[in-house]
């Protein structure tokens, strides 16, 4: 008699998994390697930006008081006493009707309280001296970029756990992070099981297919922020699979297996969990695809038994592995970000379980719409190429029609969400 599994709600399954979350330690990487990593400390401004008053234009540094009477009929003339480019500091103190030629980014000279753009001035030379005249008055502070106007010393600019974007890389450089404290990437072991699996380079023979799941999971690990470690593909042989799982578990933070998790004669994962003395958190989730997704724990270490079916495997990773990776990385938004979109095509399949349909989000005329891509079966692989979202269709309905507003989970997004997707029937 085949064991009857009791499905649990997706949200509950995610919570059970997160009950065994761990957090990673700090390591340091070169600034140029920091993009895409997760910051291990708060980034606090240890100096003001800009650190000094500076000119935002190429022009002349002046004293505004000297310009009060300037007009088109009666321009005011200044003697130009110095010239400074960015990176240099003038040692002159501006006196009455004196100006310093200044370039964008240069520090404002002493005595100056306004800058005039080059285009608003007329320059002339007399007796080896340079003069500049202007035709309108300027106020104190005109065209000065003040110290601290970008940020003040002591401001927290980026929180620990943030995904490092190119913009954050700019901040890290601004504050002198030659090396960056980032969170150590969790090591995720990957084992593919299945006697039907060929290596990528092998030629197809009857009854066999190429292993695609382990490579897909490696890429998903990288997208999630983890370091994948591939332990190879195994035949459906209980002893071999058991030993491989037992060995791999020793050297990784989390372990993923694909295939062999259902109720077939050669689905050995359930027996492997028994032999390991693992605590199985769940072995059926009320969702499609990926209903057979199983998660177990041995001495606090999680083992993700993802389905062999490619689409189910993909969904299982994003819903259950990604949040544990992001939590490990100290990220405060470990779940997939959810938005609403208009369904662009009918999806009329009824289903008792919530469906995570691979879909593509498109933007046109200010409307966000989403359409399923490819065949919606858990054993398909081709639909994954075009999918950038999961369309979440709660169970218990007779299907969904074009124009319905639906929940969509963004799988290419790095912002994430604090809360996990929850069944709306609850
Ligand atoms: N009697 C029942 N049969 C099945 C049930 C069930 O509840 N009762 N569940 C079905 C569902 S749902 C799924 S999903 C699959 C899950 O199967 P397994 O996780 O045990 O995976 P396998 O049997 O090993 O393989 C399934 C399918 O996926 C292909 N596969 C496996 N590994 C890979 C790989 N690395 N790359 C590409 N494709 C792979 C494999 O060839 C099979 O076609 O079980 C249903 N059956
Ligand atoms: O676990 Mo299966 O993918 O639900 O179809
Ligand atoms: Mg099976």
Tens-digit pLDDT profile for residues 9-56: 999 999 999 999 999 999 999 999 999 999 999 999 999 999 999 999
CATH T-level fold of 10-25+185-328: Molybdenum Cofactor Biosythetic Enzyme; Chain A (3.40.980)
Asked whether the predicted pLDDT for residue 422 surpasses 80, the reply is no
Quickly state the pLDDT bin for 137 (edges 50, 70, 90): very high
Helix (H, G, I), strand (E, B) or coil at 167: helix
- Six token digits for residue 257: 């297996």
Predicted pLDDT at 426: 37
Q: State the average pLDDT for the chain.
A: 96
Asked whether the predicted pLDDT for residue 423 surpasses 80, the reply is no
pTM of the model: 0.94
Q: What percent of the chain has pLDDT over 90?
A: 92
Residue 291 Cβ < 6 Å to ligand 1: yes
Query: Looking at the CA of 305, which ligand is closest?
Result: 1
For the domain 29-47+155-183, what is the CATH code?
Answer: 3.90.105.10
Asked whether the predicted pLDDT for residue 424 surpasses 60, the reply is no
- Which CATH superfamily, name and number, covers 338-410? MoeA, C-terminal, domain IV (2.40.340.10)
Residue owning tokens 């001035």: 121
Domain parsing of the chain, residue ranges: 10-25+185-328, 29-47+155-183, 59-134, 338-410
Tens-digit pLDDT profile for residues 36-47: 999 999 999 999
Predicted pLDDT at 10: 95
Tens-digit pLDDT profile for residues 79-95: 999 999 999 999 999 99
Residue 284 Cβ < 6 Å to ligand 2: no
Residue 247 Cβ < 6 Å to ligand 1: no
Measured in Å, residue 92 CA sits from the centre of ligand 2 at 77
Longest CA–CA span in the chain (Å) reads 108
Residue 164 Cβ < 6 Å to ligand 2: no
Residue 292 Cβ < 6 Å to ligand 2: yes
Asked whether the predicted pLDDT for residue 299 surpasses 80, the reply is yes
Residue owning tokens 């699996």: 197
Quickly state the pLDDT bin for 218 (edges 50, 70, 90): very high
Predicted pLDDT at 247: 98
Best CATH choice for the domain 59-134 from the list 3.30.390.10, 1.10.287.130, 2.170.190.11, 2.60.40.10: 2.170.190.11
Quickly state the pLDDT bin for 222 (edges 50, 70, 90): very high
**HSE-up of 64 (CA within 13 Å, CB side)?**
10
Ligand 1 atom 40 nearest Cα: 308
**Cα angle: 387, vertex 369, 323; to 5 degrees:** 50
Q: What is the ipTM of this complex?
A: 0.98
Asked whether the predicted pLDDT for residue 1 surpasses 70, the reply is no
């Amino acid at each position: 008699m085949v064991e009857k599994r009791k499905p649990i709600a997706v949200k509950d399954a995610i919570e059970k998994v997160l009950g065994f979350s761990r957090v990673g330690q700090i390591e340091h990487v070169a600034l140029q390697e920091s993009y895409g990593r997760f910051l291990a400390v708060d980034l606090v401004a240890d100096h003001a930006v800009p650190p000094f008053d500076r000119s935002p234009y190429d022009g002349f540094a002046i004293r505004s008081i000297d310009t009060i009477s300037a007009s088109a009929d009666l321009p005011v003339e200044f003697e130009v006493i110095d010239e400074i480019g960015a990176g240099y500091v003038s040692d002159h103190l501006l006196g009455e009707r004196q100006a310093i030629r200044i370039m964008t980014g240069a520090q404002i000279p002493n005595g100056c309280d306004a800058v005039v753009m080059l285009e608003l001035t007329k320059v002339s030379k007399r007796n080896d001296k340079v003069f500049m005249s202007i035709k309108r008055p300027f106020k104190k502070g005109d065209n000065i970029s003040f110290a601290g106007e970008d940020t003040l010393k002591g401001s927290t600019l980026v929180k620990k756990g943030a995904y490092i974007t190119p913009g954050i890389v700019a901040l890290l450089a601004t504050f002198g992070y030659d090396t960056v404290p980032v969170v150590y990437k969790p090591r995720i072991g990957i084992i593919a099981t299945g006697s039907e699996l060929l290596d990528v380079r092998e030629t197809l023979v009857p009854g066999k297919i190429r292993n695609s799941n382990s490579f897909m999971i490696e890429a998903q690990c990288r997208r999630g922020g983890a370091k994948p470690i591939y332990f190879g593909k195994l035949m459906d042989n209980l002893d071999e699979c058991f030993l491989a799982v037992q060995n791999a578990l020793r050297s990784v933070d989390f372990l993923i297996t694909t295939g062999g998790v259902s109720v077939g004669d050669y689905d050995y994962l359930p027996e492997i969990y028994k032999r390991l003395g693992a605590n199985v958190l769940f072995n059926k989730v009320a969702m499609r695809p990926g209903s057979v997704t199983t998660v177990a724990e041995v001495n606090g270490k999680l083992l993700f038994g993802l389905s062999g079916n490619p689409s189910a495997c993909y969904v299982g990773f994003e819903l259950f592995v990604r949040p544990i990776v992001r939590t490990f990385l100290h990220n405060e938004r470990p779940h997939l970000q959810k938005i609403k979109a208009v369904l662009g095509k009918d999806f009329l399949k009824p289903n008792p379980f919530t469906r995570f349909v691979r879909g593509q989000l498109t933007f046109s005329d200010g409307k966000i719409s989403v359409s399923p891509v490819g065949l919606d079966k858990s054993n398909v692989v081709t639909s994954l190429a075009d999918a950038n979202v999961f369309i979440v269709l709660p169970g218990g309905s007779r299907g969904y029609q074009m124009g319905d507003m639906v929940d969509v989970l963004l799988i290419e997004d790095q912002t994430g969400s604090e809360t996990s997707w929850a069944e709306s029937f609850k």
